[in-house]
Structure formats: C-alpha cells, structure tokens
Amino acid sequence: MPSLPRKLFDRVLSHPTLVEQPPVLVDIGASGDMHAAWKSLAAHSICIAFDADQREFDETTTASSGYKQLHLIPAAVVAEKQTDAPFYLTESPFCSSLLSPDNEALTVWDFAPLFEVKEKTTVPTITLPEVLNKLELDCIDWFKTDSQGTDLRLFMSLPEEIRNRILLAEFEPGLIDAYEGEDKLHEVLAQLSKEPFWLSHFDIKGPRRIASEILRQQSPTRQRLWSKGQRPSPGWGEMCYLNTYKGQHSLRSYLLGWMLTTLQNQHGFALELMVNAQELYNEPLLDDLNKWTTRRLSTSGLAQVPTWVIGKLLGK
C-alpha cells in the first residue's frame, strides 16, 4: 500500500476543531491487540475499550499506550440497562459472549472446540449511553464492535443523534449459527441500508465444514492437515461502513472524515467530501487535502496500468 500522508494527518489532528474535541474511538470486544488502524490517530484520540473476558484483555492493556486518553472498561456492553448478566467464558477468549454458544449447530465445523464453555459466570454490564454520559462525551467517531453476537443491537442502542454522526462503523456479524439469539449479517445489511451509511468494505471469513467429533478422533497432525486442506466456508463478515454525509456536518467532521476515508483507501469518496466541504467552509487545509487526494487518485490508477501501456502513451 502506498505511504500515508503523515504530515497531512498531523495537520488534520492538530486543527483547533479536533484539539478542542478529540476523535472518539470505541472498541467493543477488545480481546487481543488494539486496532492497528488506530495507530495513525491514537496520540490525539480518546479510546474507550470494553471486554468482559479479562484473560486476553489484561495483556492488551499493559501494552496499550500512546492514546490521548484510554478508558478500559472491564464490563460487558448491553443494549438495555441492567446491573449484570450471565457471561459464557469459552475455550478461546475471542469467542466468549453474553450469548450461549449454539453447540448443536457448531458441531459440524472444525472450530467448534473454541466455543466450548469453560465457565458460566456473571459480569457487570453497562450501556454505551451510560459510558458516554459518565465521560461527558457526546459523539463517537469510529465505532468498532466484535461482541460475538450482539453487534447490531449495541449500535442501535445509541441515540439517533450520536449514531448518525459516527464517521466509520465496523461490525463482525455471523452468517452461520454460532450463538443463540445472535444478530446475523443479513440483519446488519438490512438495518444499515436505512441508516446514513454506505458499505465501504466487506470481507467474508469462515471455518471449514468438517465435524469436530470426526477431527477429535484423529492425531494432532492429521487434525491440522484436514482443517487446512479444504476450502473455508462463509461463516462471518468483516464489514466497514462510512457515513454518507447526508445532512449537515461540521468542519471537524469533514476533516476527520477525510482522514478516516483515506485510511480506508476510499480516495474517491475522500475527494467528494473535500469538494462538498469547500463549498461550506473557508478553510485552507481543505484545499491541501483536496490536492493530495487528487494526486493519489492519479498515481494509484497509474500503478495499475502495465508498463508497456505507459510506454505507448508516452510515445516510447
């Protein structure tokens, strides 16, 4: 991937509108490493990270630094206010959930053992509006959730005025039955089509269809070979939505939106944002962002053209 415009990113993040109101990043289900894409804006941002399964979360928090503010919430996020809730700790911390694994449906997949419940416990819960109120924040800019089954309901639990101003939203809903009562991928597609967002990226991931009981009867070497030796089936999707910018948006929203859109390699939309923003705001930085994006669109396109075609175009 071509290098990113670090100096322009710094100018955007140092703009008075973003110094006064820093970017707000929300990470639900933060087991494992913090989101790599956030490194470009971490030092200027407020990050709110949630995970009720502390087996991986503790390791993450000790290594996570560099944010302007980092709020680590050891609780499960729920859509409706309650004090606590049952929580299923699974063999893999990345599969733990407020929802019970659908063990019967999972038996036909090679990764079923990862969902085996090691312990059913009770964890404290909190809603997103409660957290925002407590931290005195009135917006979320980058919403990322991998809640293991409740992505859509958590997104929809936000007040409409906050939801509609999210600039980028990431979801990881399921296609197959993995949890009882889970939000499915088709439901996310249906609901987000009614919201002011467009689908920028969609990557299908999945396990292999081979009964876990058959695999258990094989040697460890054969288990690995059999799992890797066939095509994965669609199991879940990694989805990224960008705000459509329908309605009125602030200068801050356009500046940060340009940066997030550029990080997503959506330069055509980034240029659209700059053209629209320049009609609304007299801000010199917008012109510089417009010029950079215009050049990037040309150079990125040129990189896809075979060398011999370029030679002919140049008369060589």
Q: Is residue 101 part of a domain?
A: yes
Return d(Cα 236, Cα 23) in angstroms, integer: 29
Q: Judge whether 307 lies within some domain.
A: no
Per DSSP, the residues of the chain read -PPP-HHHHHHHHTSHHHHHS--EEEEES--SSPPGGGGGTGGG-EEEEE-S-HHHHHHHHHH----SEEEEE-SEE-SS--SEEEEEEESSGGG-BSSPB-HHHHTTBTTGGGG-EEEEEEEEEE-HHHHHHHTT----SEEEE--SS-HHHHHHTS-HHHHTT-SEEEE--BSS--BTTPPBHHHHHHHHTTTTEEEEEEEEE---BS-HHHHHTS-HHHHHHHHHTS-----EEEEEEEE---S---HHHHHHHHHHHHHTT-HHHHHHHHHHHHHH---HHHHHHHHHHHHHHHHHHHHTS-HHHHHHHTT-
Instruction: Tell me whether residue 163 is in a domain.
Output: yes
Number of separate domains in the chain: 1
User: Domain containing 124: what range?
Assistant: 21-246+259-264
In a domain, 70, yes or no: yes
Domain CATH code at residue 178: 3.40.50
pLDDT in tens, the chain (316 residues): 567 899 999 999 999 999 999 999 999 986 556 688 898 999 999 999 987 766 555 434 444 468 999 998 889 999 999 999 999 999 998 999 999 999 999 999 999 999 999 999 999 999 999 999 999 999 999 999 999 999 999 999 999 999 999 999 999 999 999 999 999 999 999 999 999 999 999 999 999 998 888 888 888 888 788 777 789 999 999 999 999 999 889 999 999 999 999 999 999 999 999 999 999 999 999 999 999 999 999 987 655 666 566 566 666 5
Would 4 be classed as within a structural domain? no
- pLDDT tens digits for 97-132? 999 999 999 999 999 999 999 999 999 999 999 999
Give me the percent of the chain exceeding a pLDDT of 70: 89
The answer to whether residue 239 sits within a structural domain is: yes
Residue 311 covered by a domain: no
Whether residue 298 lies inside any domain: the answer is no
pLDDT by residue (tens digit) across 237-253? 999 999 999 988 999 99
Q: Does the reported pTM lie above 0.85?
A: yes
